[in-house]
Amino acid sequence: MAMLGGAAVDWPLAARAQVTGRPRLIGVLSSQSESDPEPRSWIEAFSTRLQELGWKDGDNIRIAYRWAEGQDSRLPLLAKELVGLQPDVLLGAATSASTALRQYTLAIPIVFAQVADPVAAGLVTNLARPEGNLTGFTSFEFSIGGKWLQLLKECAPAVARVIVVFDPENRVWPEYLRSIEAAAPSLGMRLTPASVHGDTEIERAFDEVAKEPNGAAIVLPSVVTVRRREKLIALAVQYRLPAMYPYSFFVVGGGLMSYGIDVPDLYRRAASYADRILKGEKPAGMPVQQPTKLVLAINLKTATALGVTVPPILIATADQVIE
């Protein structure tokens, strides 16, 4: 009996499902808010891709969702709840959610998405062979910071002073800042890091940079800046500051320009990994993958409002132009 019990633990997930006939269970943990349509669309891209691969929620799978509503302090409790459900696979949406899940299980497979540096975060030991119960998809390479500054200068050549807006709770912000600082001297830029938690600090930062001419802003990716994107966009327009954002939905919402990953694509690819795990593969042998697509978006209507004339060559190379 002991031997049979031990063997059952080691059965592949697909074999167990075949024997029990139960729907497979997927747990999803996000640090974002369910009421925010943008992060919700990322999770919907995950579930839609699963359905395309033959996994239909309510039929052969069930998906349990937990949202931290932008409060990382809630993640440990939510992660514990999900792990307690004994799902077949977990999705960690971004670094903080993935780290919380890992604290409660070293056995249940975890697929992560939007993690800047999974090795530094302690999620995996090696990108090529994760060697544990986690694998997934990274977000930005830190070197993109220099590209953000370069594109901002190309779009608005007069810019000389740039505030770099960041969330101090996001552990990787110094890496982005170092990349931006390395590019600044050759572009004749002066940088001012601006730590923000909420609207008051955001307003103070933009008010400060607007006191002198030729100012601009770069907004770093984080839960805080995504949640406060309407305020960030409105202040940039109010103070007529050219601004670079990390995601194209900032530009759709009225921001000047962005250069970054196709976020829904990451979640679609994460679904493909979840599919493979549900069919019996182990995360340890599935390499962590980097983004395959970067999107340059420009809002010409906003450029006009800011008094910025976007160079034709930049418009021609953009993947998304809003007129």
- Using 50 as the pLDDT threshold, list the residues of the chain that sit under it: 1-20
CB burial string 264-288: b at 16+ within 10 A, e below? bbbbbbbbbbbbbbbeebebeebeb
Task: In whole angstroms, give the CA distance from residue 243 to residue 217.
Answer: 5
Q: Give the relative orientation of helices 144-155 and 173-187 as an angle to the nearest 10 degrees.
A: 40
Instruction: Locate 318 and state its tokens.
Output: 């953009």
Read off the pTM. 0.89
CA torsion sign for 289, 164, 152, 263 is positive
Measuring CA to CA, which residue among 167, 162, 245 is closest to residue 206?
A: 162
DSSP annotation of 168: T
pLDDT of res. 21? 67
pLDDT, tens only, 56-76: 999 999 999 999 998 999 999
Percentages helix, strand, coil for the chain (3-state, rounded to 5) are: 45, 20, 35
pLDDT of res. 12? 43
Contact 194, 166 (CB under 8 A): yes
Q: Domains (ranges, CATH) in the chain?
A: 2-139+263-292 (3.40.50.2300), 144-261+295-322 (3.40.50.2300)
Residue reference for tokens 């021609």: 316
pLDDT of res. 15? 41
pLDDT of res. 7? 30
**Ramachandran bin of 188, using left for φ above 0, alpha for ψ from -120 to 50, beta for the remaining angles:** left
SS3 for 218?
A: strand
